[in-house]
Chains A and B, each alone.
Chain A
């Protein structure tokens, strides 16, 4: 079946612009996660949804970052007034389960954001 999809795959933004990154999880997956990956590092957690509820946003680096999943499927990560330090790959992952049990997460291809 179809995996996690993300769009756009690449985004170049001028400093100060707002961007919106989209994630379409595997059909029926309850949990959706956003991660940020800097070059040469492992992904870092940003936020987590269980259906439409945002249960953890502890990893969002500032109030310029906002995520939503209004109907419990597609999610959007929005970054306002982008800064150069926001340049990274933004990864979305989904899982068919929730909580701390068996929680295999499958990643989308990522969106590479470059802020100039």
Chain B
């Protein structure tokens, strides 16, 4: 079992819809969680971080954390074609703060 698991997709949603991206992790001691967006040929760009159970909203993005279920999700409201990218879930793995990444979910937003 991988430490951080994501559905690789591709996830296809129509423009204007809500895109829901999911991630599970295996280490119960994990304390902080991140979502990165990566466009093809580019490096990961931090879009959300979350540390406490519940929801955290930033513009069209909402991150949700459920530590009991070891589950993190990212909702993108009013999806735009420019949101088409690979979304990487990352978990702070403890000492030193190294991140463990999932393999990423490819999102395609169709006009």
Contact = CB atoms under 8 A, between A and B. Distances in A.
A, B bound: yes
A1 interface: no
B102 to A, nearest CB: 5
Contacts, number: 77
B44 A107 contact: yes
Given A100-B32, A100-B95, A91 B44 contact: yes
B97 A45 contact: no
> Interface size class for chain A?
20 to 34
A93 B32 CA distance: 17
Given A100-B92, A102-B32, A104-B49, A33 B42 contact: no
Contacts of A107: 36, 43-46
Contacts of B94: 100
Nearest to B29: A100
Interface of B: 4, 31-32, 34, 36, 42-46, 49, 51, 88, 90, 92-104
Given A42-B4, A50-B96, A91-B44, 9 more contacts: A31-B97, A33-B97, A35-B99, A45-B100, A59-B98, A105-B97, A105-B99, A107-B36, A107-B43
